[in-house]
A and B are shown apart, each in its own frame.
Chain A
Amino acid sequence: MISHIDVSTVLRRSVCDLYSNLVTRPTGAAVRIGIEHHLDEIGDKALAVLDFSHVGLLDFSCADEIVAKLLLQYVSLDLPRREVYFVFYGMSESHMDAIEAVLERHDLALVTQLEGGVVQLVGNVDGDQRRAWDTIGRLGIAHASDVADATGMPHELAARMLETLWQRRLVIRQESGYIAIRSGYAGRVPPAAMFNATAAGTPGRGMEVS
């Protein structure tokens, strides 16, 4: 299931109708709790598109409370809360300043998608992980052997990288293979239509989570 969450709406509902900026830790904590409540309702396996398009300012404290503490619950290797994948959509340059700082602090990474549709991997990711992620992004869906063939990586390394990316919730793992995370917000395919369209997904566009 895919769920679109407009973060500015969560802010106004959780904290104050008049606020448009994500500043201060208490504000960030309230917004994160609002997002968590929403995620609790969308099932055990889901893709959440967190839309920051209408957020003015995001400071370091709020980024830590919302982004880092949210991700930490879902990428824990020991006991992740559920299988939830995130796309951070509509981030501005100044949002990214704050987010990159907190990702570095917590050794995290995430997938962002700009309003134009460009998808990026941001945060602490080593070279092999990034190569594997880029390859999955190009192929849309692939197995370790496909990534190994495309990159020249040994098969075992490609398999390990894909598994790590999945554990970090940076690619989706299905029986049909590993799948690139996209929101589908590129002005081409509405996300709901895309996620209901096919089980196999369309290379470069996104994927159903079943």
Chain B
Amino acid sequence: MTTIINVPPSLDDQSFEQIFAQVALLPPEEKILLDARRTRWASPFGFTALLSLAQTRLERPGLTVPEAEDTASYWSKASFFTYADSLYDISGRVPRRSKSENSVLLEVTPINGTEDVHTVVDNIQHRAQAILHEKLNLEASVTMRFTMVLSEICQNVIEHAGYGGWVSVHAYKFQQRLGRWVVVIAVCDAGMGFRKSLEQSQGARASDVWDDGKALEETVIKGATRFRDPGRGQGLAGVRKFTGKWDGMMSVRSGTARIAIVPEWGQGVPLGEGLPFFPGAQVQITIPERIGLP
């Protein structure tokens, strides 16, 4: 039996919760088919989370391609199908991948090792500089700091997931919520997640307050890691600092919880718990176009 999972028309970190909710009810061996025929748009989070989702299934899942040609074409340009092809049984017409759009700063890219982080950093610098400066009104020097943030989040996958992950970066106009351009980094994996990662060094905690939410607070806010090295934990701290300085939003979902740094323009709560379970960690950073001085 195959269970149909409906993909929302607009697929981002918020609407992806609908998919998590549907999948969390199913055993991993159950065959699923993600029906994206009516999907018109997907964010970097949507792309990377779809790929991570396929990696959690024991039975190779199916995926139907969006019917709207421009949508399917955009997914191709974002390199989504390049990797989805090896994880999903794809039905529907997949457009040939043509030259990438300017808004795609970084196509979907696998993160499996250190060399992948170097590739990501090398690939994004030139394109990021133009977009950050022209669309987001950020100084050229911000590009380096932005790339540092990207590097640290990617390394988080290698060091803590115990499993490969995916990264993608796009810029687009965030019309509904903000009316401004934003650049969005999404990094998703289906690995062990923050709670299990911390338990590797500190052991499982019997306390009833030890859960995914607490693990996220420890790591994202307090900089805890499973390593004894006192130099560890600076990466996410640096990401938080950069995000705050540029009025950005950062959210990290792991297991059944999501922690977020929410600016005035953002939506969401600082800590959401009791979410449908999904393994690994899913990180999103959103930096908005600057209006006036930071």
Contacts and interface: CB of A to CB of B under 8 A. Distances in A.
A23 B118 contact: yes
B125 interface: yes
Interface in A69-107: 69, 92-94, 97-98, 101-102, 105-106
A46 to B, nearest CB: 25
A56 B126 CA distance: 12
A27 B118 contact: yes
A21 B118 CA distance: 7
Given A23-B117, A27-B114, A101-B234, A61 B145 contact: no
Interface in A53-69: 56-61, 64-65, 68-69
B268 interface: no
B interface, over-half SS: helix
Nearest to B117: A24
8 contacts: A24-B151, A24-B155, A57-B148, A61-B151, A64-B234, A94-B141, A94-B144, A101-B234
Given A57-B144, A93-B141, A16 B118 contact: yes
Nearest to B122: A21
B148 A97 contact: yes
Instruction: Sort chain A's interface into a size bin.
Output: 20 to 34
Tell me which of A25, A56, A93, A102 has the highest count of chain B C-beta atoms within 10 A of its own C-beta. Answer: A25
A60 B118 contact: no
B231 A105 contact: yes
Interface in A13-42: 16, 19-21, 23-27
What 7 A-B pairs come out closest when comparing CB atoms?
A94-B144, A64-B231, A59-B151, A23-B151, A60-B234, A60-B238, A24-B114
Interface string B102-144: 0000000000001101100110010000000000000001001
Given A57-B147, A105-B231, 20 more contacts: A19-B118, A24-B114, A24-B158, A57-B121, A57-B125, A57-B148, A59-B148, A59-B152, A60-B148, A60-B152, A60-B235, A61-B152, A61-B155, A64-B232, A69-B231, A92-B144, A101-B238, A102-B234, A105-B230, A106-B231
